Amino acid sequence: MGTEPVRADWRAMPLRTASRDVAVGDGCYTALGSYENAASTNAEIRRVLRDRGRFCLRSFVRPDRPEAVEGLFGELAQGSVSNLDLFRWRLAMAVQGSSRGGVRLSDVWRCWSEHIGDSRALAERHGWPDSARRNVERWRDVEMRYYFPSLSELHALAAPYFEVVSCEIPGYEWGERFPRIVMRAR
């Protein structure tokens, strides 16, 4: 049996049923765009895993009670945002709110641009790298949706197919938004 990685749609993997011991993902629910797509992904991953196989992932989660967009921009105005890339993820989660349908990236950019104005001047004032500013600007015309489950939604997504074995919160800044989850197939 080989250990070659497989690149495919998480919802329709070209793998035999019960043919794998482990599946590993990084932010895969986010890229799927909705709760429904995340749920169908779990069903597919369960299909390809052997009994008691493991699904290990880092997930990008919003808080159970969404942050207010205005509060985030208040932090920005006070100068308490040191990492623009983390702010971008938090903003996307806040714009999504409690929706299970995810958030269109162009909507996140629109919110950003309505609140910011001249992003170059802001980046210079705060000492952010230009690459971080460009990461936000790249979402300008992107219709793709990202989905950020809350931690409780993540557990609900897992329940039909997996037992959550561990949920580790990284020690880095805002690590609670990027938990590492290990699930065992039921």
Q: Whole-angstrom distance between the N-terminal and C-terminal Cα of the chain? A: 23
Q: Has residue 4 got a pLDDT over 80?
A: no
CATH second-level architecture of 20-61+149-185? 3-Layer(aba) Sandwich (3.40)
Domain residue ranges of the chain, discontinuous segments joined by +: 20-61+149-185, 69-146
Looking at residue 159, what DSSP letter applies? T
Q: What is the three-class DSSP state of 125?
A: helix
Q: Has residue 38 got a pLDDT over 70?
A: yes
Rounded-to-integer distance, Cα 10 and Cα 29, Å: 10
Rounded-to-integer distance, Cα 34 and Cα 160, Å: 17
What integer pLDDT is reported at residue 112 of this predicted model? Answer: 96
DSSP run (H or E) holding 51: strand 49-58
- For the entire predicted model, the pTM comes to 0.90
What integer pLDDT is reported at residue 100 of this predicted model? Answer: 93
As a whole number of angstroms, the longest Cα–Cα distance in the chain is: 56
At residue 179, what is the residue type?
P
What integer pLDDT is reported at residue 154 of this predicted model? Answer: 94
Rounded-to-integer distance, Cα 9 and Cα 32, Å: 9
Query: How much is the average pLDDT of 155-178?
Result: 95
Query: How much is the average pLDDT of 95-118?
Result: 95
Confidence band for 2, pLDDT divided at 50, 70 and 90: low
What contacts 18, CB < 8 A, 6 or more positions away? Answer: 47, 48, 49, 50, 51
What integer pLDDT is reported at residue 79 of this predicted model? Answer: 87
Confidence band for 153, pLDDT divided at 50, 70 and 90: very high
Query: How much is the average pLDDT of 127-152?
Result: 94
Q: What is the three-class DSSP state of 180?
A: strand
- CA 151 from chain centre, in angstroms, equals 11
At residue 48, what is the residue type?
V
Q: Are 179 and 169 in contact (CB under 8 A)?
A: yes
Query: How much is the average pLDDT of 96-120?
Result: 94
Q: Tokens 């329709």 — which residue?
A: 12
Rounded-to-integer distance, Cα 162 and Cα 20, Å: 15
Per residue in 44-53, pLDDT (tens digit) is 999 999 999 9
Per residue in 62-106, pLDDT (tens digit) is 999 999 999 999 999 898 898 999 999 999 999 999 999 999 999
Looking at residue 175, what DSSP letter applies? G
